[in-house]
Amino acid sequence: MLAFIDVPIVLSAFFFAIILAVIPIWFTWRALDRAGLAGPLALIGLIPLGIFIVLGILAFAEWPVLKQQAERS
């Protein structure tokens, strides 16, 4: 019934989609870590429109890294 679908093409499309989903999550995880926030918050980006929640947290939260730098000065 599905003999017309070429398996390698479907698998390559699947892996390409996974890569497109993982790379932004990894970048967001690194940005949250560098800001001193919890990196796993980036996983919220996997739900639809969740990246906007993560960006809101990143934009409006107090960054612990900045507090530490201010204490050192």
pTM of the model: 0.76
Residue-level pLDDT at 6:
74
Sign of the Cα torsion 19, 24, 27, 28 reads negative
Helices (H) and strands (E) in the chain, counts: 3, 0
Better pLDDT: 26 or 11 = 26
Residue-level pLDDT at 11:
86
Gap between the Cα atoms of 9 and 16, Å rounded = 10
Residue-level pLDDT at 1:
54
pLDDT per position as a tens digit, 12-71: 889 999 999 899 999 999 999 999 999 999 999 889 899 899 999 999 999 998 888 888
